Amino acid sequence: MDLRAELLKSIWYAFTALDVEKSGKVSKSQLKVLSHNLYTVLCIPHDPVALEEHFRDDDDGPVSSQGYMPYLNKYILDKVEEGAFVKENFDELCWTLTAKKNYKPDRNGNSVVSHQDAFKLWCLFNFLSEDKYPLVMVPDEVEYLLKKICTAMNVELNSCELDDYLSQEPQGQGGLTVWQFLDMVNSGRFLRGIEQEAVSMAVEEVYQEVIEDVLKQARSPHGYLWKKGQLRRNWSERWFTLKPSVLSYYMSEERKEKKGSITLDKHCCVEVLPDRDGKRCMFCVKTSSRTYEMSASDTRQRQEWTLAIQTAIRLQAEGKKSLHKDLKQKRREQREQREQRKAAKEEETQRLKQLQEEKERKLQELELLKEAQRQAEILLQEEEQRRKQQHEEMQRTLEIQLREAEQARASMQAEMVLKEAEAERQRKRILELEDMQERLQEALQQEVKARQDEESVRYAQARLLAEEEEKLKQLMKLKEEQEEYIIKTQREKQVLKQEMENKNKCLEEAQKQLEEVRVNRQRVDQDVMAAQRKLRQASTNVKHWNVQMNRLMHPIGPGDKRTNVSGGFAGYQPLLSQRDSSLK
């Protein structure tokens, strides 16, 4: 994290501490005092004109954090130079303001950490907290910090107890606030049975390592490191402190008298040396200008120092200023990746759940479709059975109609035979009438011949005339009967013809129904075709008999014979007139 972000975290605590009413706003007079103190601890030249101009009393009411940020950025943070001020003094100013309001140690003096240790823990919390407000430290970072402190005291942290505590403690924004963290440390739950001095030493060590970027320093139980001088080439015991860019050494562990420093860069290297000059566990640090030889108390200390110096050189080569900033970023990236994997896993689980639900829904739909298919098959079978029954009923109906048509045809044929017999009788009668007419003509001729001998056969002639008149009446009567019979025959013929047409229509309708049945029901084609052949044969026979009937029922005209009869009467008329005149 950059310097501006680090400073803003501490200033945020100072601003919220001045917000007595927790309204998110601070009075202008308090902000003036805060700004003046920030100028002082950050070693920035004071600008009283800008301060008075920005906070002039031209309006009423306090200023919110958003209203204070433009001034803070422009006149304070933009002018801060890294290394130009002591950051610990800046942090102490902000801690003093916020601790008065929020930090509540045990009044009986039973707190695990002192006020100064609480300040250092507050600085560590700010360093490890998330870059969003309000500031919180996620459980992973809480565990990391407590493990660092416990490791410095050679104590193992009870992770299960920590998890239980974090699960019971209400967490806002996904983590603990600094005051919850300090209360947890002061409760002694995780540092049970450890003296306050040991806790202070551990907190100091972690503070120097994390906040002051001290990668390594000699620890009192293991003694100091021995350093070989450059001019007199003698060995001196020194207290060494390693930071990413420099290896400093002091007269004592109080670090009050600094004897020198070794500037580290990417061109430096560290090597292990063989024992000589009565010194053991030797190693050296080579820079571009000289080589520094040192001796550790044991092999373990030498290995720790060489690894730590190599780590510092690696950081310089990678352009990184702080090991713990890099480690924090890596832990944050790991948490983000873990959260992403967790989110991806939850998303995958949700997706699998949705797929399972979709699968179950599909299976239910499939079962419904199968049930619908079974119902459809049942309905189809019922429909097929119904259509089959309809076809069978239609077939039986057609067979009945065909039988009726056959019976009608047979009755029509019988009728036609009767009509033919009747017509034959009529022809015979006509022949008899013609024969009678011929006999009548012969009788008329005989009468003419008899009139010639009228005088002799008058009485015979009169008798013959009477007979002739009687015959004539009978003949006329027969002629009228013949005409009436002919008219009756014509009427019967028309009725018969109308019946034949109706029968033909019935036969044609039956044939059309038969054709439709043949299309819808192919499995009964043979029977239907046989019925159609019979129907066509019947139709052919009916037409043939219609033609024959038309020929037979054509009315017979008397023709010349009728004329001859009229002529006979005309020839007979003079004889009657002659008879009448003779009688007179």
Residue-wise pLDDT tens digits, 134-165: 888 888 888 888 888 888 888 888 788 788 87
Overall pTM surpassing 0.75 (yes/no): no
Does 285 have pLDDT greater than 90?
yes
Report pLDDT for 378: 92
Separation in Å, CA 358 to CA 206, 346, 362, 369: 54, 17, 6, 16
The confidence band for 574, taking pLDDT boundaries of 50, 70 and 90, is very low
User: How confident is the model over 321-374, as pLDDT tens digits?
Assistant: 777 777 888 888 888 888 888 888 888 889 899 999 999 999 999 999 999 999
Report pLDDT for 94: 92
Instruction: Give the lowest-confidence range in 185-189, 428-432, 496-500.
Output: 185-189
Is residue 283 within 8 A of residue 214, CB to CB? The reply is no
Is residue 550 within 8 A of residue 431, CB to CB? The reply is no
Using omega within 30 degrees of 0 as the cis cutoff, is the peptide bond preceding 558 cis?
no
Report pLDDT for 286: 92
Extract the tokens encoding 369: 């479709």
* Helical (H) or strand (E) element with 42: none
Report pLDDT for 57: 56
Angle at which helices 196-210 and 115-128 cross, to 10°: 40
Amino acid 6 reads E
Report pLDDT for 76: 87
Report pLDDT for 60: 52
Report pLDDT for 252: 83
Is pLDDT larger for residue 95 or for residue 187? Answer: 95
Is pLDDT larger for residue 579 or for residue 476? Answer: 476
Task: Using alpha carbons, select from 222, 150, 227, 152 the residue that is nearest to residue 190.
Answer: 150
Residue spans of beta strands (DSSP E) within 101-141: none
Report pLDDT for 571: 43
161 CB contacts (<8 Å, ≥6 apart)? 189, 190
Separation in Å, CA 119 to CA 85, 99, 116, 204, 274: 19, 9, 5, 11, 45
Report pLDDT for 15: 87
SS (H, E, C) 421-460: HHHHHHHHHHHHHHHHHHHHHHHHHHHHHHHHCCCCCHHH
User: Which residue reads 């002051």 in tokens?
Assistant: 212
Does 461 have pLDDT greater than 80?
no
φ, ψ of residue 236 to 5 degrees: the values are -130, 145
* Helical (H) or strand (E) element with 299: helix 299-318
Does 226 have pLDDT greater than 80?
yes
499 CB contacts (<8 Å, ≥6 apart)? 412
User: How confident is the model over 79-92, as pLDDT tens digits?
Assistant: 888 878 888 899 99
User: How confident is the model over 35-70, as pLDDT tens digits?
Assistant: 888 889 989 888 777 777 776 655 555 677 777 888
User: How confident is the model over 393-435, as pLDDT tens digits?
Assistant: 999 999 999 999 999 999 999 999 999 999 999 999 899 898 8
Is residue 105 within 8 A of residue 188, CB to CB? The reply is no
